[in-house]
Structures are given as C-alpha cells and as structure tokens.
Amino acid sequence: MNHVLVQDLHKSYRDKEAVRGVSFHVEAGEIFALLGPNGAGKTTTLEILEGFRDRDGGRVEVLGRDPGDRAHSAWLRRHVGLVLQDIAVEPYLTVRETIARNAGYYPAPRSVDEVVELTGLTEKSRTRVKDLSGGQKRRLDLALGVIGNPRLLFLDEPTTGFDPNARHGAWDVVRSLRDAGTSILLTTHYMDEAQALADRVAVIADGRIVATGTPATIGGRDHALKRIRFTLPDGCSPADLPVPVSVEDDGAVTASVAEPTLALHRLTGWALDRGLLLDGLTVEQPSLEDVYLGLTADHQPAPVLEPSPLSAAGHRSTP
C-alpha cells in the first residue's frame, strides 16, 4: 500500500505557480526524499499533504485519505507525525515533560523513555527547553514528531542548521524510525542527506519533478560514463597511452568510459610493462550532486550524462 499518493498536484499563490503538476508516491516502510533548491515547491507540497494548505488541482492521498477533506483531519493528526521548520513549545518545561505532555494527545503513543533515547536526548531530559542548543531543540522537534507512534512521518528540512555531528545523529534517528516501521517523507536541499537516507528520491525544480529514482540510479547516474583519472608519468605524453584521454587543468589526465574494466587493464598493463606507476589513479562515478546540478540547472542537460567523444574505443557504449 502507498502511504502517500500525489498525482498532478497544482498550487499557485496569486501569480506564482509554486507547484505545477507534481506526481510521486511513498511506499509503506520507505524513506522518500523530495530534493530540490530553495523555492522549488517542497514545503508547499508538504503543507498540502499535512492538510495545512488547500490545493488548486490534482489528487492527494495520505494513508488512503484526502488531507484536503476536513472530515479526515482528526484521524490524520493521530496517525501522521510532523516535524515542521519551527514548532512552538513551552520554554519552561523540561525535555521529558514536553515529550510526556505530547504523548497524552495520542491514543497509542510510544514510551517517553524510548523516544528520549531514540532522539539522543537522554542527557538533556531534565533540561528546560529554553536552555537547549539549536541542534538539541531540533531533536526535540523530532521527538515530538514521533511520540504519537505515527505510521507516516513528514520532515521538512530536518537538519538545516545542524553541525555535521548533529546531522549524522539525526540521520541515525531517521533510519531507526524507518527500521521500526515508520514511512518517512522528507524534504531537503542537501544532496548528501538524500544520498545517506533515502530509499528513493524525487528531484523537484521550479514546481516540477524532473527525475525520480534511487540515489544510485537517478538521472541515469548508473549509466553515466565513469572517469578514470591519474597523473601522467614523467616523460610520457597523452598520445603514448593505449586509451584516449583528455588533459585536465590540473595536469591530470582522464579517460571517460562506460565500463572501466578493460580500459584500466590496458592502462595498468601499459604502465607495468614500462616499470611506471599511475600516480593518483582513481575511477569516479558521477556523484548525486553532479546529477542534481544537471537536473536543476535551467533546462541545461547534465554534461556528465552525455556520451563523451573520448570514450575508449572498443567499449560497449552507454545504453
């Protein structure tokens, strides 16, 4: 069963068309990331799913119910967890008191101790909310999002403003929630966050989904050319090499190939025959960031996705 279904969603603010025909779904038990730059329409989409904003057109289902129908509001509030960009909490309550109070709003909440531990707040459970750091406050937001034991959790930019340690901590929390059976829809503009967390990703730009897939395959990433890179041995010229290469600005040479096994074999064989080493030898796959930048750059095709004329001869070409 799909926990979220969005088909041809449209939403305008006066003259601004913020969401222009967005479609995607979130399967039960997965982490799905809506990845896109600021202003892409992520929060608008999430707010429609949360029932906070009306849509202009399209079909939307959350746990099988239409969040635009007020008759479902109370039911959805009990079964869906939310972590918004800023939640108002009582500054003079402690962390534990805040979580315990919210637990009382739900019919079958998680245990307060479990949630305190899950969100890494054990040390801070007796601290007043007003004395928490930004990262700790955000973890409390996450705790409040999951105390109701939701089947589905919405996270809007869960780690914006975190330091690297806090981000990794939050990622661990999100993964353990998924492993405990909660489906998660998160928005982010961080490529590494989508890469680290998401089972599937949709890239959204200017109100449209431009690609959907797994972090490993999105935008043809798995079929894109790999880059073999090394420093040319002293006294050699690119023309001496058994594989066509191009020379980079930093003096390194690169060969772009669909499948690197044969080209590597030729290059390393060539070097060993001459008693040479290929300094700094690496094989690079285009990163999710390369793909994302290509997909979100104003209709510019990603350069990394185009077959290169420098592909080593005799290789299977990119499908």
Ligand X SMILES: Nc1ncnc2c1ncn2[C@@H]1O[C@H](COP(=O)(O)OP(=O)(O)O)[C@@H](O)[C@H]1O
What is the C-alpha to C-alpha distance for residues 222 and 225, in angstroms, rounded to an integer? 8
Instruction: Please say which residue, 157 or 290, places its beta carbon nearer to Mg ion.
Output: 157
Contact status, residue 25 vs residue 40, Cβ threshold 8 Å: no
List the 208-213 sheet strands across, edge first: 80-83, 152-156, 183-188, 31-35, 200-205, 208-213
Those residues with Cβ within 8 angstroms of residue 111's Cβ, 6 or more apart along the chain or in another chain? none
Report the interface residues with ligand X, using CB under 6 A.
13, 16, 18, 36, 38-44
Instruction: Please say which residue, 40 or 177, places its beta carbon nearer to Mg ion.
Output: 40
**From 29-37, 43-51, 160-168, 193-201, span contacting Mg ion (CB under 5 A):** 43-51
* CB half-sphere exposure, 9, CA atoms < 13 A: 30
What is the C-alpha to C-alpha distance for residues 268 and 274, in angstroms, rounded to an integer? 10
Which residue reads 């635009």 in tokens? 68
**Residue 177 binds: one of Mg ion, ligand X, none (C-beta under 5 to 8 A by kind):** none
CB of 301: closest distance to ligand X in angstroms? 23
Tally of helices (H runs) and strands (E runs) in the chain: 9, 13
Strand 183-188 relative to strand 152-156: parallel, antiparallel, unpaired?
Answer: parallel
Contact status, residue 310 vs residue 245, Cβ threshold 8 Å: yes
**From 41-49, 119-127, 161-169, 213-221, span contacting Mg ion (CB under 5 A):** 41-49
Which residue reads 């901590």 in tokens? 169
Instruction: Please say which residue, 134 or 301, places its beta carbon nearer to Mg ion.
Output: 134
Those residues with Cβ within 8 angstroms of residue 306's Cβ, 6 or more apart along the chain or in another chain? none
**From 19-27, 39-47, 136-144, 260-268, span contacting Mg ion (CB under 5 A):** 39-47
Instruction: Please say which residue, 44 or 102, places its beta carbon nearer to ligand X.
Output: 44
CB of 276: closest distance to Mg ion in angstroms? 52
CB of 168: closest distance to ligand X in angstroms? 23
Contact status, residue 89 vs residue 144, Cβ threshold 8 Å: yes
**Residue 18 binds: one of Mg ion, ligand X, none (C-beta under 5 to 8 A by kind):** ligand X
CB of 56: closest distance to ligand X in angstroms? 13
Output DSSP code: residue 243.
S
CB of 33: closest distance to ligand X in angstroms? 12
Instruction: Please say which residue, 43 or 195, places its beta carbon nearer to Mg ion.
Output: 43
Instruction: Please say which residue, 43 or 308, places its beta carbon nearer to ligand X.
Output: 43
By CB under 5 A, tell whether 43 contacts Mg ion. Answer: yes
Contact status, residue 232 vs residue 278, Cβ threshold 8 Å: no
Structure tokens at 318: 């990119």
CB of 40: closest distance to Mg ion in angstroms? 8
**Residue 81 binds: one of Mg ion, ligand X, none (C-beta under 5 to 8 A by kind):** none
CB of 35: closest distance to Mg ion in angstroms? 12
**From 37-45, 97-105, 159-167, 205-213, span contacting Mg ion (CB under 5 A):** 37-45
Instruction: Please say which residue, 39 or 242, places its beta carbon nearer to Mg ion.
Output: 39
CB of 264: closest distance to Mg ion in angstroms? 43
134-146 helix and 95-103 helix, angle to the nearest 10 degrees: 20
Strand 152-156 relative to strand 80-83: parallel, antiparallel, unpaired?
Answer: parallel
Instruction: Please say which residue, 50 or 112, places its beta carbon nearer to ligand X.
Output: 50
**From 38-46, 140-148, 221-229, 236-244, span contacting Mg ion (CB under 5 A):** 38-46
Q: What is the contact surface with Mg ion in residues (CB under 5 A)?
A: 42-43
